[in-house]
Amino acid sequence: MQVLVLNSGSSSIKFQLFKMPEATILCSGLIERIGFEDAKFTFKTNGNKLETITSILNHNQGLTLLAKQLLNKETGVISSPHDIKIVGHRVVHGGQHFTSTTEITPEVKAKIKELSTLAPLHNPANLEGINVAETIFSSAKQVAVFDTAFHQSIPEKAYKYAIPNSFLENNSIRLYGFHGTSHKYVSEKAIAYLNKPNSKIITIHLGNGCSMTAVNNGKSVDHTLGFAPMNGLIMGTRSGDIDPAIIFHLVNSLDYTLEEVNTLLQKESGMLGLTGYSDLREIEAEAEKGNEQCQLALEMNAYRIKKYIGSYAAILNGLDAIVFTAGIGENSNTMRALTCKELDYLGISLDLDKNSERSDNIREIQSDASKVKVLVIPTNEELEIAKQSVALIKN
């Protein structure tokens, strides 16, 4: 069975085509800068890599280009769009409506649209990808895998906010958690690697969006992102944790509108607001040159992560491993080193030589003196989405 997985973002589409249940990757790639004249299309298959710079102004054009490449007689991997039996979609916010993987219907799409107010950077783009995929891959089952589903195991004492009970009861205002497919995937990999089902793990997903999860015996018990994917760690353009009084001050004293505050905190803050750059590779390069703003931003980022490591170690009442994953977590030895610096009291100590090594496999980077395993585990959200999609349709 061929399963196409789409992660449709506001300006990008990440994709992988799997042969299931073997989990063989038939092709993968990325469409970047959708909406611009110089969009980039990357397509990888059988060890070959095709890169094209072209004008892709919307998701329809992007997915049409993908379908054309899949059908290419020389490099394509399918003979007809009907070869694809399932299209699995990443959807960021499922609210309280979706607690598990769900086949997409008009009613499901309506709820995803309704929840867009809680994830304005993500849900609209996820929905756009669904709508276009339904047209291009019309005979395939369309399935939604929600970032929030893995965190349904978080206990009430952790997900409930200290505001009047009616807001939870009547308006479903609570902590939901995000990046669930990534945290689920790497925590399961860590548990298998440690060969310890009853384990206490902190998974650290660091990319343009960042989050951490406390995982006890394979279950999410707390998470840094909350009602919407804005709080917690410092992110590429999002502020992370901020005193709510600052919002009132911006509106009441500095004449910001609520829309302007939302734009400020979601798109103009985080590492971008601190340095002028949202790409960590640029920030690290500038820090190496002596840019003090970039140096401080890296320290702030690591400091925030360390605060959550300490608090999650406390609620777990111990710690077997911490796991770094996603683009920054897997590739930035600088952020890993800054994060693990001076965590001796928790039994965390890094081996700087191991930390500098590169690998596509699970690797340990702690020192011999470390009581806690420090793991780097490549995430594969697309494979997790494919597995969950197939399991749903088969059942």
Interhelix angle 106-114/123-136, nearest 10 degrees: 160
User: Amino acid letter at 82?
Assistant: H
Q: How far is CA 218 from CA 156, 303, 308, in A?
A: 18, 26, 19
Integer Cα distance of 113 and 229 in angstroms: 16
Residue matched to tokens 């004449």: 255
Nearest to 145 by CA among 129, 166, 161: 129
* Active-site residue, selected from the candidate residues 147, 255, 344, 360: 147
- The answer to whether 228 touches 235, Cβ cutoff 8 Å, is no
CA dihedral 163, 316, 354, 287 (to 10 degrees): 20
* Cβ-contact 269, 208 below 8 angstroms: no
Residue 147 falls in the annotated catalytic set = yes
Angle between helices 333-340 and 280-288 in degrees, nearest 10: 70
Sort strands 219-223 and 210-216 into parallel, antiparallel or unpaired. antiparallel
Q: Is 170 exposed, middle or buried (0-12, 13-18, 19+ CB in 10 A)?
A: exposed
Distance between CA atoms of 222 and 171, rounded to whole angstroms? 21
295: tokens are 């140096």
- Residues carrying an active site annotation: 147
